[in-house]
Structure 1
Amino acid sequence: MAVQDDKRERQMRDRFNLKVDEGRKRDGIDAYLKIDNRIVNFELKSTTSGSVSTVRDFGAEHIKKWRDLHWIIAVYDKRGEDIIQCHYASPRDMLPWIEKKRQYVLPDLILGKDIPGFVSPEMIKSIFDGKSEPFSYKDAKWLMKNQWSRDRYLAEADMGRGYSLMKMTEILEERCSYLMARGSTLNNPHIEKSFVAKLPLLDEEEPAHDLRELVRNYFATAAETDEATA
């Protein structure tokens, strides 16, 4: 994480009295709060221009992760030092934006899900020019490159220290899934300035209290909706 991004996240966590797990990984949860016997996870974003940068490779994992997250978007001054205002977005608020991006990448997601299933032993035979099993560690690594550790390669060997035709087919299928997943992502989709502007503003005098009231209101209205449709 960039130093500037880390500094802003700390400022936002302090302003709203949010917690973060120690040792958080780069793709982990930015912050959380405990409220009314719930743990509410947050995505923290900041901007100096109004539109919000998200992630380098937006794909299926982000769609799954973001659907249940609450968001705080801090608008900073042009220097990126001081917070001008903050917006709160519930999962319901963010759903239209996430769904729009999901629809954009949907054809690629379907391809990424279905194409690996067409990998066959005949493809392995073609790649290795009819070579018979067992295949070697070097052969397996030629397929998967540096995607696996040496320990993983050794653990996957199903013929002593070698690999059967079917195991090599499985390896190629996994490699295909990996390549298709990389190709089915959207590069850093921005949350538009006009979208951000419509999100609720958090009170500047008591931001932590206001955030908790908005979160409670979200869960209350979500419960009412569930009861009405039950």
Structure 2
Amino acid sequence: MTVQDDSRENELIQLFNLERPVNLSRSGTDAILTLNELKITFELKSTTKTSVTTVRDFGPEHIKKWRGKHWLFGFYEKGGKILKYCLYASPKMMAPWISEKSDYVGSDYKLAQLIPELISISLLYEIVGEKEVYTLEDAQSLQKRQYTIQEYRNKMDLESGYSPEGMLSILKDRCKYLIERGSTLNNPHIPASYFEGWERITTNHAQRLRELVTETIQENT
């Protein structure tokens, strides 16, 4: 997140009287609204345009993270310092967009699950040569920096290294990683048309948000 994005996010948190998660980097949640002892998780986005950018490498982890979340969008003047208006979105309101993007990458991620299991020992031998015992260096030549040293050591199934079956498992992981890496959607936008007809919040931000969230909860009970 850039300094400017971080500043705008902090402004939204203060304006709507939200809280930061205790462990922001691990929680996957930008902000929390406490409402009648409920903890409502929020995704925050800001923009200087009429559309909204999301993330660089959109994939299944974002789908899992965003489903069920509430959203706040801050729309700023071109310079990025003056807030024009905000939009609130319930999980139901965001569901069509998330589902559309999920469908877009879905088949690629199915390939990432299925194709590695088709890799055989003979294919392993074609790639790294045939050995009775493979070394740590052999394994690192396959999976590069995708494992930590400890993970490499944990995967050793022989005292001095890896059996062909152990290396096959690493090769499958590598194949899965490469397919998933190529399957992400780069920075999908939420178009301006998606927000048509949504209420613009320009005053009494904290109060109005709580009213809208309360309405959402009541609709789902």
User: How many residue pairs were aligned?
Assistant: 221
Q: TM-score, normalised by structure 1?
A: 0.91
Q: Deviations over 1:68-99 (max 9, x none)?
A: 11100011011100110000000000011111
Q: Which residue of 1 aligns with 2:145?
A: 146
Is it true that 1:177 corresponds to 2:171 in the alignment? no
Q: Which residue of 2 aligns with 1:68?
A: 68
On the 8 A contact 1:154/1:161 being kept in 2, the answer is no
On the 8 A contact 1:41/1:70 being kept in 2, the answer is yes
Q: Which residue of 2 aligns with 1:47?
A: 47
- 1:189, 1:89 → 2: CA distance? 17
Q: Which residue of 2 aligns with 1:210?
A: 208
Listed as ranges, the gaps of 5+ residues in structure 1 are: 224-230
Task: Please show how residues 1-230 of structure 1 align to structure 2 within 5 Å.
Answer: 1-25=1-25, 28-129=28-129, 131-202=130-201, 204-223=202-221
Q: Which residue of 2 aligns with 1:226?
A: none
Q: What SS does structure 1 have at the residue aligned with 2:33?
A: strand
Q: What SS does structure 1 have at the residue aligned with 2:153?
A: helix
Deviation (angstroms), 1:107: 2.0
Specify the code of the residue in structure 2 equivalent to 1:132.
K
Specify the code of the residue in structure 2 equivalent to 1:195.
Y
Q: Deviations over 1:171-203 (max 9, x none)?
A: 11111111111111111010001112333322x
On the 8 A contact 1:88/1:211 being kept in 2, the answer is yes
Listed as ranges, the gaps of 5+ residues in structure 2 are: none
- 2:63, 2:197 → 1: CA distance? 21
Deviation (angstroms), 1:209: 1.1
- 1:112, 1:10 → 2: CA distance? 37
Q: Deviations over 1:15-50 (max 9, x none)?
A: 001111244218821111121232111110011111
| Bigger strand share | 2
| Over 6 Å off, 4+ runs | none
- 1:11, 1:158 → 2: CA distance? 52
Cα 1:198–1:105 change in 2 (3 A) is farther
Deviation (angstroms), 1:113: 2.1
- 1:2, 1:77 → 2: CA distance? 17
On the 8 A contact 2:54/2:189 being kept in 1, the answer is yes
- 2:209, 2:118 → 1: CA distance? 49
Pairwise CA RMSD: 1.5
Q: Deviations over 1:115-172 (max 9, x none)?
A: 122122222111123x222100000001100111112212211111300111111111
On the 8 A contact 2:28/2:65 being kept in 1, the answer is no
Q: What SS does structure 2 have at the residue aligned with 1:74?
A: strand
